[in-house]
Amino acid sequence: EIVLTQSPDTLSLSPGERATLSCRARQSVTSANLAWYQHKPGQAPRLLIYGASSRATGIPDRFSGSGSGTDFTLTISRLEPEDFAVYYCQQYSSSPYSFGQGTKLEIK
């Protein structure tokens, strides 16, 4: 199983600041097979980024993804109040399609 480790576990920032979230895999993940999701309490997860760097339909351009191999990054350029949530990376390179443990982005 490919283990994904996200860091930090919690990120405390203010609206308007830049957020950088990391997802590290124990073994190489094809970029095409890496996705990022946003999850808010009481809602279903929402696909933000697929193929490591492609934004899903309707996702604002302040969200961007990058990385390859074992290191991937989700960047939110200027935080809006609605961006505070939990973020997960997921790999589809090999089954089981594991998720990272999540990064909670909270308001400072």
Partner 1 sequence: EQLVQSGAEVKKPGASVKVSCKASGYTFTGYYMHWVRQAPGQGLEWMGWINPNTGGTIYAPKFQDRVTLTSDTSISTAYMELSRLRSDDTAIYYCARPLHPSAIRWAGIWGQGTLVTVSS
Contact residues for partner 1 (CB under 8 A)? Answer: 1, 32-33, 35, 37, 39, 44-47, 50-51, 56, 86, 88, 90, 92, 95-102
Residue 75 or 101 having the CB closest to partner 1:
101
Give which of 23, 39, 37, 49 is closest to 84, Cα–Cα: 39
Q: Give one DSSP letter per residue of 63-77, joined into a string.
A: EEEEEEEEEEEEEES
SS3 58: coil
Residue 78 or 97 having the CB closest to partner 1:
97
Residue 19 or 98 having the CB closest to partner 1:
98
